[in-house]
Amino acid sequence: MNYPTPAFEAKICPPAQLTARVAGLARPLVFTNGCFDILHRGHVTYLAQAATLGAGLVVALNSDASVKRQGKGADRPVNDLGDRLAVMAALECVTLVTWFDEDTPLQRILESRPDILVKGGDWPLDKIVGGAEVRGWGGTVHSIPFIHQKSTTALLDKIRRL
């Protein structure tokens, strides 16, 4: 039996198509980014909260090479970009998911011109990449406090101890 491609796959947007795809989304538009290597409760809570700030949520994922340059460990990411994109796209709160190979998501921020830029509570507002640019075109920047103290690194450490 042939099964259709899951509908969520349509949410995966190559960087070259981002500007055009974002133009058709409802505003205000929220943007966030991260590795999202092994998705956990902290991630999904944060993403759901971010989504409530606007009419649509764009998530930009670090490419595998970008994750490796962050120094999270030689074995990271655990899940490759294709898998991370699919899992992120499957979340109801996510409108569109793309990626970046650079060390920061600044280019994707400039291409999508979000109204609201969001990062997790471990990011002070003045350190959020793209914050000055988003404020410059009249947008806002938020650092959402963590409700669940979870991390992929801590989860991997726990798995390794078992």
Mean pLDDT throughout 123-138?
96
CATH of the domain at 83: 3.40.50.620
Residue 82: domain span:
7-161
- Asked whether residue 156 is assigned to any structural domain, the reply reads yes
pLDDT in tens, 69-95: 998 888 889 999 999 999 999 999 999
- Asked whether residue 11 is assigned to any structural domain, the reply reads yes
CB 5 within 8 A of CB 89: no
- Asked whether residue 71 is assigned to any structural domain, the reply reads yes
pLDDT in tens, 16-60: 999 999 999 999 999 999 999 989 898 999 999 999 999 999 999
| Cis status, amide bond into 77, omega within 30 of 0 | yes
- Asked whether residue 57 is assigned to any structural domain, the reply reads yes
Is 117 in a helix, a strand, or coil? Answer: strand
**Paired residues of 58 in beta bridges:** 31, 96
pLDDT score for 162 = 83
Q: What is the DSSP letter of 140?
A: E
**Paired residues of 61 in beta bridges:** 34, 99
- Asked whether residue 2 is assigned to any structural domain, the reply reads no
Q: How many domains does the chain divide into?
A: 1
pLDDT score for 148 = 66
For 62, list phi and psi in degrees, rounded to 5. -65, 135
Burial call 109-124: b when 16+ CB within 10 Å, e when fewer? bebbbbbbbbbbeebe
- Asked whether residue 1 is assigned to any structural domain, the reply reads no
